[in-house]
Structure 1
Amino acid sequence: MDTQHEAPRIVVGVDGSPSSQTALRWAVRYAGLVGGKVEAVTAWEVPGEASWSAPAVDATFDEEEAERRLVEEVRTVLGDQGASQVHERLVRGHPADVLVDAAEGADVLVVGSRGRGGFRRALLGSVSQQVALHAPCPVTIVRPDAPVA
């Protein structure tokens, strides 16, 4: 019998919105309870590349700037000690596709209930709805006002 277990992998979508910040806090708390590791994933789209979705990151800066902002946001939300427990990853593509792909092999995917999308995103369905339908693992959708303590 194999007694070695890999730490549970928790993937969390981060886009700068209040609900994604709450989702990040929830994922870190959950990881602490189950001895897991957290991977914070942000999708980065090039303007005009995906005409039906708003960029997850402001289109006026480049990939290096987007990665810096992701790291900065994780530190702002969790503090230095909490951020040290999180692996940040910036992936180019549509947020729902990126998160579904990132969740391959994960124990859980955590997303906020409302991100930075606007009316155009509502026409196609939200990222949280898309990942709930297509993720290869359980999905936790966290509301921005959800208690995390």
Structure 2
Amino acid sequence: MKILLAIDGSKFSKEAVAEITRRSWPADSEVRILSVANPSPLVIDPLLIVAASHYDSLSEEKERASRDVAEAEAAIAKSAPNLKLSTSILVGSPKERIVEEAERWSADLVLVGSHGYGPVQRFLLGSVAQAVALHAPCSVEIVRSRDQSVSGQAAA
């Protein structure tokens, strides 16, 4: 079984990592740990001031993604040593890159944490989990934290 674990370093993706370690997976199962570096958007800037900020944001996002992937890999290797692990760090829109990686890698399952946004936040920010569930070429499991509250709101 090929499981694509999409993480972003949040407590919600840490719950998805924990979910991987809690289960018994079929023999020879593989987990690809994916984090998508999503820098601030690049806008047209004749003085190239924003371009420098975009470059810094991309650098920081790549570093964050590397740390998140390394932490997840160590946690899974320690708790589920029978799983074959690989990692991937991509750049771009998480909604698009997760689906593309699931297609490219022929994943059987995508596991992603849910931030638990309410309807207004989902409308304004979009939901990566929802977009992946709608467009992935395979089954998608959305893992919710047992303590799923965002800004004092209960999850929708």
- Taking structure 2 as the reference length, the TM-score comes to 0.67
In the TM superposition, what are the counterparts of 1:94-105 in structure 2 within 5 Å?
Answer: 94-104=93-103, 105=106
Query: How far did residue 74 of structure 1 move?
Result: 1.3
Question: In structure 2, what is the equivalent of residue 14 of structure 1?
Answer: 7
Give yes or no for contact 1:28–1:38 (8 Å, CA) kept in 2. no
Query: How far did residue 69 of structure 1 move?
Result: 1.0
In the TM superposition, what are the counterparts of 1:67-146 in structure 2 within 5 Å?
Answer: 67-75=65-73, 78=75, 81-82=78-79, 85=83, 86-104=85-103, 105-114=106-115, 122-123=123-124, 125-145=126-146
Question: Which runs of structure 1 show a deviation greater than 2 angstroms over 4 or more consecutive aligned residues?
Answer: 27-30, 58-68, 70-73, 79-86, 119-122
Question: In structure 2, what is the equivalent of residue 40 of structure 1?
Answer: 33
CA shift in 2, pair 1:60/1:41, >3 Å:
closer
Residue identity matched to 1:126:
S
- String of CA shifts for 1:64-120, please: whole Å, max 9, x gaps: 5245313432156x165248743221001101111101111110000001189xx77
Identity, % of aligned positions: 34
Residue identity matched to 1:111:
V
Residue identity matched to 1:138:
S
Query: How far did residue 122 of structure 1 move?
Result: 4.0
CA shift in 2, pair 1:131/1:115, >3 Å:
same
Q: Which has the higher helix share?
A: 2
Query: How far did residue 48 of structure 1 move?
Result: 1.8
Structure 1 unmatched ranges of 5 or more = 1-7, 51-57
Other structure's SS at 2:138 match? coil
Number of aligned residues: 128
CA shift in 2, pair 1:19/1:37, >3 Å:
same
Question: In structure 2, what is the equivalent of residue 26 of structure 1?
Answer: 19
Give yes or no for contact 1:10–1:27 (8 Å, CA) kept in 2. no
Other structure's SS at 1:48 match? coil
- Taking structure 1 as the reference length, the TM-score comes to 0.69
Hey, what's the Cα distance between the residues in 1 that align with 2:79 and 2:42?
Answer: 34
User: What is the Cα-based RMSD across aligned positions, in Å?
Assistant: 3.1
Query: How far did residue 9 of structure 1 move?
Result: 0.6
CA shift in 2, pair 1:75/1:38, >3 Å:
closer
Residue identity matched to 1:132:
A
Give yes or no for contact 1:17–1:115 (8 Å, CA) kept in 2. no
